Amino acid sequence: MTSSWLSEIRASYDTVAPSYAVQLRDALAGKPHLRALLGLFAELADGRVADVGCGPGWVTAHLRSLGVDAFGLDLSPEMIAFARRTHADVPFAVGSMTDLPLPTDSLGGILAFWSLIHLPDAALPTVLAHFHRTLRPGGVVLVGFHVGDTTTCKTSGYGGHPMHVHIHRRRPATMSAFLRAAGFTIESETLFDPDARVPGAVVIARAGQSQ
């Protein structure tokens, strides 16, 4: 049975897909530090890369522009439909990170770009175990997320559309601990906008031998 929070995420992002895509179209334009880290990720990832929780596909397309063999997966069929219409040359598929539909040892990299923020702590070990399983040994994962210690419920957004998703903020050390427990070695922790109301962070890690 699908978890209720998973169904709520899918329904919420199906609802906001068009407005979300328009509002975030140029999100990377004003984020040179994030673009630099995506460039680093592109350099580190050797082989095919999955953008897990790709939304409308803007970041997937950016990775492709950097020469990465990237494809996108998202829980929301409406997000994937938009991504396919907008980026006809990029592969996209509907799929859940809680049951990642990818072969073992098939990837050189996984991008989770602010796509783990709606997952409760209890779901992270399963998701990160799937990441580790699908990455070849030495494969790289980049995780971006909101920083903090609180969980809030988002009930509307992206033009006032109704939503019902929880946003879980985590410290870089907390995310790194989850990754280490899943068999990853941490390569870097980067904190963004530390003086902002909600800072951001990126953790880059490598997969060890299959567990």
DSSP-derived secondary structure for 85-121: HH-TTS-EEE--GGG--S-TT-EEEEEEES-STTS-G
Asked if the structure places residue 104 within a domain, the reply is: yes
Per-residue pLDDT at 3:
73
Domain containing residue 108: CATH number:
3.40.50.150
pLDDT at 202 over 70: yes
Predicted TM-score (pTM) of this structure: 0.94
Q: Which residue has the tokens 């941490």?
A: 186
For residue 156, being part of any structural domain is answered with: no
Considering the domain boundaries, does residue 34 fall inside one? yes
Residue 152 maps to a domain: no
Report how many domains make up the chain: 1
At residue 210, the pLDDT reads 59
Looking at residue 162, what is its pLDDT? 83
Domain assignment present for 8: yes
- How do residues 102-159 score in pLDDT, each as one tens digit? 999 999 999 999 999 999 999 999 999 999 999 999 999 999 999 999 999 988 878 7
Question: Per-residue pLDDT for 209 more than 80?
Answer: no
Going from the C-alpha of 206 to that of each of 28, 37, 123, 143, 159, the distances in angstroms are 24, 15, 20, 11, 38
| Position 1 pLDDT exceeds 50 | no
Residue 167 has pLDDT above 60, yes or no: yes
The answer to the question of residue 134 being in a domain is: yes
44 lies in which domain range? Answer: 4-145+172-195
Please give the pLDDT value at position 179: 98
